[in-house]
Structure 1
Amino acid sequence: MKRRDLIAHLQSYGGALIREGARHSWWGNPANNHRSAVPRHTEISDLLARKICRDLGIPEP
C-alpha cells in the first residue's frame, strides 16, 4: 500500500498527525487517545497498514 493512501485513509477516519520523528511520523486518533508510528517509506506492507489501523482503532483499509 502506498503511504499516501494510508495517510488519506487515516485522515478520513479522524486520524491526526501528532509529530514528525526522524524516520517515522506519529499519528493519533483523538477519539480514543491512541497513537502509532507510520514509517516514512513510499511503500508500506499491507500487514503493517492493518497493524497501524488496529493500533489507532480505525477500520482496516
Structure 2
Amino acid sequence: MARRTFSGREVVKVLVNRGGFEWRRTAGDHAQLYYEHPTYEEDKRHVTVPLHDEVRKGTLRNIAESGGARDFDAFCAWIDRNS
C-alpha cells in the first residue's frame, strides 16, 4: 500500500509536472492549481493545496476528488511514485 503522508509541495509538484495542472497563484500558504482539458472544454478543475509540511488525510482526499481522481488509494500511489 502506498503511503498517505505527503507535504503540500510534493502534491503540487506531481499535479503540475505529471497531472497537467497549472500553478496560477498562491493565496497565503495555499497553492491554487487549475486544469483545463485540452479538447473537452467543459472539463475544468480547481484544486487548492496547502503548502504545509504534512497534508492531512482528509484534505488529501478532498484534493484527490477535486482533481478528478476516482480512487483515493490509486491517487496516493500515483503521488508516491511520482514525487
Equivalent positions of 1:30-45 (< 5 A) are 30-31=36-37, 32-45=43-56
- Match of 1:4, SS state, is helix
Rounded to whole Å, the distance in 1 between the matches of 2:13 and 2:23 is 12
- Runs of 4+ displaced beyond 2 Å: none
Change (3 A) 1:58 1:8: farther
Aligned length: 61
Greater C-alpha radius of gyration: 2
Q: Is the 8 A contact 1:27 1:36 kept in 2?
A: yes
Unaligned runs of 5+ in 1: none
RMSD of aligned residue pairs (Cα, Å): 1.8
Q: Distance in 1 between matches of 2:44 and 2:25?
A: 14
Q: Does 1:13 align with 2:24?
A: no
Q: Structure 2: which 5+ residue stretches go unaligned?
A: 1-5, 38-42, 77-83
TM-score normalised by length of structure 2 = 0.60
Q: Distance in 2 between matches of 1:18 and 1:53?
A: 19
